Amino acid sequence: MNIDITDLTRRFGRTQAVAGVDLRTGAGVFGLLGPNGAGKTSLLRMMATVLPPTSGRLRLLGRDPGSYGPRREIRRRLGYLPQNLGYYPGFTVAEFVEYFALLKDMPPGQVPRAVAAAVGQVGLGDKARAKLRTLSGGMLRRAGIAQAIVNGPELLLLDEPTAGLDPEQRVAFRALLRDLGQRATVIVSTHLVEDVGAACTEVALMDAGKLVFQGTPDELIARGEGTGAAGDAPLERGYSAVLAAARSTTAAA
């Protein structure tokens, strides 16, 4: 199991962002769905070793991120795309990706080829020497994805990766996700249900800090059948049905 989480919680003052999440997963593309404020980003940030948990057990790639040595090993094998990708406007795309490759402790001799491969994979080859400040939002997102995959990560965490991408780019990105999921654990946090249907082998749904569903996309679709739940597509109906059931259970309790 590349991710092994037991009863993980995170509080911000009085707000419980993540409330007792259990999650185990290996290689493949794992979709993390949920409405705004469900706790997806907080959970992803804990898995990215950026945010320490308040309580619970978290093991990544078989290691404990609470200790310095194992945390560094995890980070060498980690790719992370934050929801709000900060960048240095004066860097070119290649410089940006190279900078983070070096901070990931990649052997310097391997960095130039890895950068070229990553930039090529996200389709930014013709913009590799363009300054980041000159790029569109979708291109910046792709530059962010390139830095996340430059080290060939075993654990790849992507927070809203398709935000700002046009339909053609999203199709290409889903193909890239499926390819990466052959050998790595890819966690994709999104509120776009169609991304999950097209790329994910497994899906979890979060609401109010808790996992209210975990299964395959087909199982999520099955939850919506015959319920009359709102949605234009089968996955959307499954999503709505699971959320409605979870909220009614909470309200009843």
Partner 1 sequence: MSDMDAGRPPGAPAPWETAPPDVDLSRVWTSVAAEVWRRRPGPLERAAGRLLRSPGLARALVTTPSLLLAWIIATVVVLFAGAGATLATGTPYVALLAPAVAAAGIAYAYGPGIDPAWELSQSMAVSDRIVLLVRALAVFGLNAALGLAASAASGAAAALTFGWLVPMTAACALALAAATLARSAIVGVAAGVAAWVIAVLSGAAAGGQFTTAVTNTALVLPYLAFAACCSAVVLYATRIPRGTS
Interface residues toward partner 1, by CB under 8 A: 48-50, 52-53, 56-59, 64-68, 71-72, 75-76, 78, 80, 82, 84-92, 94-95, 98-100, 102-105, 108, 111-113, 115-117, 119-120, 125, 128-129, 147
Distance, in Å, from the CA atom of 199 to the CA atom of 214, rounded to the nearest integer, reads 16
User: Which is nearer to partner 1, 14 or 129 (by Cβ)?
Assistant: 129
Cα of 237 vs its chain's centroid, Å: 23
User: Which is nearer to partner 1, 21 or 115 (by Cβ)?
Assistant: 115
User: Which is nearer to partner 1, 66 or 137 (by Cβ)?
Assistant: 66
DSSP assignment of 23-73:
EEE-SEEEEEE--TTSSHHHHHHHHTTSS--SEEEEEETTB-TTSHHHHHH
Residue 137 near residue 164 (C-beta atoms within 8 A): yes
User: Which is nearer to partner 1, 85 or 204 (by Cβ)?
Assistant: 85
Sign of the C-alpha dihedral, residues 11, 15, 17, 18? positive
Query: CB 81 → partner 1: shortest distance, Å?
Result: 8
User: Which is nearer to partner 1, 57 or 247 (by Cβ)?
Assistant: 57
Query: CB 123 → partner 1: shortest distance, Å?
Result: 13
Query: CB 13 → partner 1: shortest distance, Å?
Result: 14
Q: At what angle do helices 217-224 and 234-252 cross, to 10 degrees?
A: 70
Query: CB 4 → partner 1: shortest distance, Å?
Result: 9
User: Which is nearer to partner 1, 87 or 169 (by Cβ)?
Assistant: 87
Single out the residue of 65, 37, 32, 31 nearest to residue 51, CA to CA.
65
Residue 6 near residue 163 (C-beta atoms within 8 A): no
Query: CB 107 → partner 1: shortest distance, Å?
Result: 10
DSSP tag of 147: H
Single out the residue of 205, 183, 217 nearest to residue 33, CA to CA.
205
Query: CB 3 → partner 1: shortest distance, Å?
Result: 13
